[in-house]
Every structure is written in structure tokens, then in C-alpha cells.
């Protein structure tokens, strides 16, 4: 084991320093974007070069983060079965993932990205904007560097996983089976055998199979695309030649720059103990009312959603703080767990939601318009949650008892206001600047980062260690999201070349020919997929397939995007695979049983579906803020 560790150690250190450099650049990016916004809006002193430096920093952050996220196993996987595997099986899956998916795809990407970079160098490509940066080949060359680092880290992961194997024969047997299957596929390709099943269906079937086994999501999409490009004569590897150019387009997308900045802001607030102060003060404020603690959880969940937008962090924070308090005061475990899980998922819908940013990019919509459109659905959902809690506490008094407190109510009210006002001011500045069209989402997010730091200083919880943690976790999460986007881009290239887009269009517009049937089927598919895979994969793989169909039916794309966001939020809660349920159970431990969690979330799922139906029946509700 020591020998294997020694072999992987220098590769791991390279990834470590890449990640730390990216984390430092996260802080620098926040400062530069905030500075640029202030100079432009207050002093009318903008700089094209500075704006290009900002998106170059954004590129370097997620590209260097790819290898760092792989080192820390942050590239998300569907762990429904994976978490039950033995240590040997997990190690074998890790080796196969790197050997069959990560390394082949990365080598092909390096080959095509090098060609793109070399052409840029020969042409001495510069910015197309006056006053922009020169030597454009340098930032394109970062694609080559990033995927070369990814290959090296994949080798390190293979070495470490092989060292962990107790029974190495298992791996060699699996590799033997894979080799036999590979030879059979090669023989079929060599003899130009026709597909028995449409290759589009096979493409999705293989991707779903690999996902369920536990391979990392991003590399499943990338590797599956590469495999079908290889075995389909009509395609060939040239179909993926445009992938580096597509990725470079992602790198230049200023809207997506808001993703790491909002994540960074949310992580700073997570560590600032803001949630703890809000829950305790609002629990006291509403505790004297039956169901008051559960209502306070819903309201705090809404504030956290509008502040952090990170579902996992919200659920974990509230389960650690609110759950013991609710159980101590004899709340039913079902109501306690249901209100915490449901409130924690509000970050999927309430702005500044990362889901809405990604949907805006994939559907070519204004993020500001989506943020505005999501406010009323979010308020409807919050209102339904509170109404349900009040009705339940009236019908079943023992499920949500009132809490008797001797503390003077005016002191409780003052403490609650003091806790609530700072995050509400931050939310108002961030969202207000976007809604008013004063600042772009990335500029508002950068201002939000500075506001989050000031809140942390005000609560005396700020430290360099906290900033370091937030920056490093931002790199990991950002890299995970953008690697999925790269993998999904490769997948969509092959999917479209196989005729998948035309097949979907023909099915919905020809075979069905009804917009409401399309909406129903699309919502059901997204809801079911949400049981198994994360919203990011759905947004990057499924949504682009639906976009042209939405346009062909003349459906309002903003309204449809809100329906998707609400649907994805409901899927976060759905037993047995809802991610929010895993977060809650993992942080609650033995305090509450899985059965109680499942029973608790069912009413809230029904409320989410009710809110979805309301928005379907009354689509104009999403435009109230524009009237």
C-alpha cells in the first residue's frame, strides 16, 4: 500500500496545488468583478481588458478544479447502489471509471484542444473587442493543461484504488469480461452489423446503466459519447472535434460566471452561523403558536434559499440546529423531518438559484427574467407549507405543540429583527440590483460575496480559515458542475448526430401533436429522472432536447423553465432516492428513522405538486413583478 501511495503522491500534490491556486483565484475574481461593477456604475469607468481578465480567471478556476475535484472524489455519482458496495467493489468501479472513461475521453480532448490552441497561436489570435487582451492562445491552452492534469490524477486514482484492493483477482476478472465485451463489439463493428435497437435508445440505456453502477456522472456522459462515436460508422471521432470549441464557448459565457460567485457567497454565509441565529431567534418568535417552530423552519429555509441557494447546506444546517429543538419540544418526527427537508429544497427555486442560472443558459433566457418569474411560485410554495402546518397543528395538537416561554416577548422580537434584517438587506441588494437591471447576475453575486463577508465579520465568525474553506469548496462544486456540462455537451453532439433531436421532435409534434401532452410527458420524465440523477445532469442533458420542441409549440420558455425548476425541487424530496432525504438522514443520525422521514415529506411533495398545478393553470402569476 505504501508503495502505491508513493507512486501517486507527486500526482496528488500537483492536483492539490492546482486546487489551491484555483481557490485563491476565486477570491481574486470576486474582488475584481465587484471592483469593476463599482467603477462602471458609479464612475462610468469600465475596462474591456479587465472584463476579459475576469472571465479568464473564471475559466482557470473551473479548469484547474477538474483535477482537484477528482482527487477529492467530488465529481458526483449516483450512489444508490454504490454506497452499499464492498471496499473492493468500490475500488474496482473507481479503476474502471478512470481507465475506460476519464483517460480515453481526456486524451481525445487534449488532441483536439491542442489543434485548436496551435491554430490560435499561428494566427496570433487576439480579442475581437477594442482594448481586449492579446495572446488568446494562452487561455485556449488551459484546456490542454486542465485535461493533461486530469489524466495524471486519473492515473493516481487508479494506483491508489489498486493499492486498496484486497482481492485483486476480482478486478482482473472484471477487466477480462470488459475485454470480451469489447472484442464482441469490435467484431460487430468490423462486420458492419446493423443495430438491433435504435442507437439513440442504446446511447441512453448505456449511460443509465453506467450511472446506476456508480460511475461519475460527468465522465459517463463523456465516455458514452466517445464509445458511440467510435462504433458508429456514420459518426467517427470527428464528430467530437468541435467539443473544445464548444467548451471554449462555455468559458466565454459571462452568465455562467455567476455560478461560482453565488456558491462562494452561499458557503461564506453557511459558515457565518447566520442560520443558527435565525433559527433560534425565529423559533422563539413563533414558538408560542402551535406549529410555530415548523413555521420558523419554513421561513428560515426561505431566507437561506435566497441567501445561499445551496440545498445540501440548508438541509444539513437546519437538521443539526432545528431538529433536536423540535423533538425536544415534542413535535412529531414526521412534521419535523418533513418541514426541514421541504424548506431546505427551496433553494432550488427561490432566487438566486443556481438551477435557474443553469436553466437560463441552457434555454437561452435572461437569468434576471427567470429570477423575477420564480419569486411568486416561491411565495406560493412557502404559503402552502405554512398553511399546511397551521391546519395540521389545529387538527393534531400533539403533533406541533406551542412552547411556553417566560422571556419577555418584546426582547424576543428585538432579537429576531436583529437577526433577520442583515440577511434580508443582503438579499435585497443582490436580487434588487438584478431585478432593476442595474447589475448582471455575476456582478450582483460578487457584491453579495462582499456582503456575506461583512455579515460574517458582524457576527464575529469571519476568519481566513473560513474564507479558505469557502473558496476550496467553491472550486470543487464549480468544477463538478462544469465537467458535467462538458460531458453533457459531448453527449448532445453524438445524440444529435445520431438523429435523437429529430426523433424527439417527430414524436412530440407528429405522433402526439398536442402541447399539453408534451408538457405532461416532459414533466413526468423530469420528475422520474429526478429520483436518480441530480438537477445539473437533467439541466445539461434533458433540457437542451426539449428547447426546440418548446419553441415549435409556441410555449412560453420562461414559464416552462419555472415548471422545470419546481419539478426538480419536488424530485429532491421524493422517496426513496430524494437527495434532501439523504442529507437529512445523514446529519440527523439516530435522532429520527427513515420511515418517519418518508412519511413526513409526502404531504410536502403533494404541496409542491399543488403549487406546480397552480402555475400551470395560472401562468400569468409568474409575471406579477413585471406589472
Highest mean pLDDT among 130-144, 252-266, 306-320, 565-579 belongs to 130-144
pLDDT digit string, tens, across residues 349-399? 888 777 888 888 889 898 888 989 999 999 999 999 999 999 998 888 887
| pLDDT(348) > 90 | no
Question: Sorting pLDDT into bands at 50, 70 and 90, what band is 190?
Answer: low
Q: Which residues pair with 216 in a beta bridge?
A: 77
What is the spatial distance between Cα 236 and Cα 65, in angstroms, rounded to a whole number?
Answer: 30
Least confident of 346-360, 422-436, 573-587: 573-587
Q: Which three cell numbers stand for residue 155?
A: 492515473
Least confident of 273-282, 492-501, 554-563: 273-282
- Dihedral sign for Cα 454, 460, 463, 469, please: negative
By percentage, how much of the chain surpasses pLDDT 70?
A: 91
| pLDDT(317) > 70 | no
Query: Would you state the pLDDT for residue 314?
Result: 66
pLDDT digit string, tens, across residues 49-66? 888 898 899 999 999 999
Query: Would you state the pLDDT for residue 583?
Result: 67
C-alpha separations of 58 from 23, 51, 182 in Å: 11, 11, 39
Q: Which three cell numbers stand for residue 233?
A: 460508422
Q: Which three cell numbers stand for residue 364?
A: 437561452
pLDDT digit string, tens, across residues 500-536? 777 777 766 666 667 888 888 888 888 877 766 667 7
Query: Would you state the pLDDT for residue 559?
Result: 94
Residue 188: asked if its preceding bond is cis (omega within 30°), the reply is: no
Residue 187: which residues within 8 A CB-CB, separation 6 or more?
A: none
Query: Would you state the pLDDT for residue 384?
Result: 95
| pLDDT(422) > 80 | yes
Do residues 564 and 359 make contact, with C-beta atoms less than 8 angstroms apart? yes
Query: Closest Cα partner for 175 from 158, 150, 191?
Result: 158
Highest mean pLDDT among 78-82, 405-409, 546-550, 581-585 belongs to 546-550
Query: Would you state the pLDDT for residue 146?
Result: 95
Name the one residue in this structure whose C-alpha cell is 432550488.
348
Query: Would you state the pLDDT for residue 627?
Result: 59
Do residues 7 and 405 make contact, with C-beta atoms less than 8 angstroms apart? no
Q: How many residues does the chain have?
A: 627
Query: Closest Cα partner for 556 from 468, 496, 615?
Result: 615
Question: Sorting pLDDT into bands at 50, 70 and 90, what band is 140?
Answer: very high
- Dihedral sign for Cα 377, 379, 385, 387, please: negative
Least confident of 28-32, 108-112, 263-267, 564-568: 263-267
Q: Which is more confident, 613 or 164?
A: 613
Least confident of 222-236, 313-327, 458-472: 313-327
Query: Would you state the pLDDT for residue 101?
Result: 92
Q: Is the full-model pTM beyond 0.85?
A: no
What is the spatial distance between Cα 115 and Cα 585, in angstroms, rounded to a whole number?
Answer: 49
C-alpha separations of 177 from 3, 94, 174, 219, 221 in Å: 28, 16, 5, 21, 22
Query: What 3-state DSSP class applies to 167?
Result: coil
| pLDDT(76) > 70 | yes
Mean pLDDT taken over the chain: 83
Amino acid at each position: 500500500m505504501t508503495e502505491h501511495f508513493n507512486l501517486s503522491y507527486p500526482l496528488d500534490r500537483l492536483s492539490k496545488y492546482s486546487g489551491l491556486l484555483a481557490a485563491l483565484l476565486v477570491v481574486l475574481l470576486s474582488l475584481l468583478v465587484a471592483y469593476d461593477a463599482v467603477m462602471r456604475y458609479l464612475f462610468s469607468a469600465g475596462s474591456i481588458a479587465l472584463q476579459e481578465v475576469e472571465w479568464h480567471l473564471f475559466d482557470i478556476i473551473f479548469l484547474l478544479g477538474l483535477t482537484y475535484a477528482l482527487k477529492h472524489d467530488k465529481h458526483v455519482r449516483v450512489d444508490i447502489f454504490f454506497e452499499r458496495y464492498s471496499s473492493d467493489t468500490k475500488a474496482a468501479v473507481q479503476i474502471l471509471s478512470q481507465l475506460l472513461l476519464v483517460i480515453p475521453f481526456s486524451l481525445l480532448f487534449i488532441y483536439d484542444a491542442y489543434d485548436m490552441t496551435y491554430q490560435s497561436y499561428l494566427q496570433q489570435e487576439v480579442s475581437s473587442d477594442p482594448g481586449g487582451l492579446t495572446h488568446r492562445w494562452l487561455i485556449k491552452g488551459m484546456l490542454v493543461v486542465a485535461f493533461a492534469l486530469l489524466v495524471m490524477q486519473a492515473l493516481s486514482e487508479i494506483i491508489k484504488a489498486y493499492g486498496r484492493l484486497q482481492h485483486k483477482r476480482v478486478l482482473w476478472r472484471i477487466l477480462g469480461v470488459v475485454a470480451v465485451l469489447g472484442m464482441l463489439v469490435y467484431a460487430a463493428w468490423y462486420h458492419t452489423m446493423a443495430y438491433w435497437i435504435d442507437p439513440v435508445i442504446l446511447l441512453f440505456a448505456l449511460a443509465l446503466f453506467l450511472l446506476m453502477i456508480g460511475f461519475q456522472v460527468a465522465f459517463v456522459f463523456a465516455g458514452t459519447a466517445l464509445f458511440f462515436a467510435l462504433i458508429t460508422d456514420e459518426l467517427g471521432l470527428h464528430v467530437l472535434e468541435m467539443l473544445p470549441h464548444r467548451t471554449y464557448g462555455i468559458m466565454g459565457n459571462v452568465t455562467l460566471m455567476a455560478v461560482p460567485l453565488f456558491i462562494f457567497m452561499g458557503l461564506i454565509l453557511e459558515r457565518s452561523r447566520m442560520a443558527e441565529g435565525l433559527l433560534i431567534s425565529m423559533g422563539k418568535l413563533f414558538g408560542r403558536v402551535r406549529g410555530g417552530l415548523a413555521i420558523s423552519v419554513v421561513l428560515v429555509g426561505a431566507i437561506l434559499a435566497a441567501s445561499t441557494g445551496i440545498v445540501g447546506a440548508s438541509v444539513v444546517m437546519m437538521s443539526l440546529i432545528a431538529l433536536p429543538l423540535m423533538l425536544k419540544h415534542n413535535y412529531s418526527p414526521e412534521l419535523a423531518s418533513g418541514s426541514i427537508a421541504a424548506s431546505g429544497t427551496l433553494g432550488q427555486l427561490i432566487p438566486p438559484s443556481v438551477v435557474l442560472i443553469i436553466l437560463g443558459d441552457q434555454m437561452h433566457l435572461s437569468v434576471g427574467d427567470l429570477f423575477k418569474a420564480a419569486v411568486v411560485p416561491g411565495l406560493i410554495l412557502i404559503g402552502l407549507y405554512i398553511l399546511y402546518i397551521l391546519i395540521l397543528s389545529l387538527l393534531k395538537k400533539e403533533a406541533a405543540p406551542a412552547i411556553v416561554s417566560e422571556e419577555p416577548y418584546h426582547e424576543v422580537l428585538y432579537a429576531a429583527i436583529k437577526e433577520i434584517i442583515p440577511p434580508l438587506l443582503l438579499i435585497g441588494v443582490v436580487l434588487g440590483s438584478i431585478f432593476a437591471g442595474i447589475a448582471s447576475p455575476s456582478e450582483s453575486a460578487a457584491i453579495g460575496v462582499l456582503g456575506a463577508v461583512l455579515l460574517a465579520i458582524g457576527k464575529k465568525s469571519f476568519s481566513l480559515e473560513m474564507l479558505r474553506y469557502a473558496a476550496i469548496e467553491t472550486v470543487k462544486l464549480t468544477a463538478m458542475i462544469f465537467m458535467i456540462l462538458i460531458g453533457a455537451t459531448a453527449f448532445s453532439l453524438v445524440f444529435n448526430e445520431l438523429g435523437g433531436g429529430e426523433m424527439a421532435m417527430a414524436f412530440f409534434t407528429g405522433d402526439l401533436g398536442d402541447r399539453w401532452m408534451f408538457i405532461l410527458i416532459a414533466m413526468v420524465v423530469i420528475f422520474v429522472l429526478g429520483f436518480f440523477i441530480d438537477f445539473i445532469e437533467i439541466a445539461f442533458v434533458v433540457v437542451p432536447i426539449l428547447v426546440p420542441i418548446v419553441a415549435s409549440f409556441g410555449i412560453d420558455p420562461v414559464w416552462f423553465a419555472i415548471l422545470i425548476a419546481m419539478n426538480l425541487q419536488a424530485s429532491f424530496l421524493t422517496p426513496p432516492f430524494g437527495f434532501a432525504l439523504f442529507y437529512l438522514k445523514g446529519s440527523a443520525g439516530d435522532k429520527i428513522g427513515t420511515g418517519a422521514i418518508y412519511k413526513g415529506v409526502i404531504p410536502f411533495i403533494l404541496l409542491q405538486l399543488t403549487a406546480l398545478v397552480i402555475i400551470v393553470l395560472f401562468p400569468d402569476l409568474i409575471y406579477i413583478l413585471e406589472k
